[in-house]
Amino acid sequence: MKNLLKLVLLIFVLSSCASVKVERLTGSSPKSRNCNLEVFNNESEVKRKFQVVCSLDSKTGNSIWNKRTAEAAIENAKNKACECGADAIVVTSSGRTKLKFYSYRRGVASMKGVKYL
C-alpha cells in the first residue's frame, strides 16, 4: 500500500511540470540565461524597430506548489527567449486554463521573442 501511494504521488508531481514550447524563426545568437528582457503587452508598445526571432507558448505547472498565473507563465518563458537571442517579449495572449476535475488551473501565455534592429 505504501508503494502504491508513493507511485501515485510521484506521478502527480511529475505530471505537473511547467513547459515552454519554442519555435525559432531566425538564427539569432543566443544570450546568456537570465538576460535582461523587456516585456510588452502588444507590438505598438515597442518603440524601436525589431524582428521576431521566436514564438513561445508557456504553461505553468498545475500542482498546488506551482504559481499558476499568466505572469508566472511569462516568467517561465524568459530563459527560452534569451536562448533565442531576444531583447524583449511581446505577449500576444495570456490567461488561465479551465478548471478540470483532475487538475488545477494553469497559467498560460503566448509570446513573441523580438530582437531590436
Residue 92 has pLDDT above 90, yes or no: yes
Q: Give 99-109 pLDDT, tens digit per residue.
A: 766 667 888 99
What pLDDT, on a 0 to 100 scale, did the predictor assign at position 1? 64
Q: How far apart are CA 85 and CA 113, in angstroms?
A: 8
Q: Answer with the residue of higher pLDDT: 56 or 95.
A: 56
Position 39: which residue type?
Answer: V
In whole angstroms, how far apart are CA 105 and each of 68, 76, 116?
A: 7, 16, 35
pLDDT for the residue 61: 78
Q: List the domains of the chain with CATH numbers.
A: 2-116 (3.30.110.70)
Amino acid at 15: S
Read off the amino acid at residue 90: V
- Give the amino acid at 79: N
Distance CA 47, CA 45 (A): 6
pLDDT at residue 83, as a whole number: 96
Coarse DSSP helix, strand, coil percentages of the chain, rounded to the nearest 5 percent? 25, 35, 40
In this prediction, residue 97 has a pLDDT band, given cuts at 50, 70 and 90, of confident
Distance set, CA 94 to CA 14, 19, 56, 99 (Å): 24, 15, 12, 16
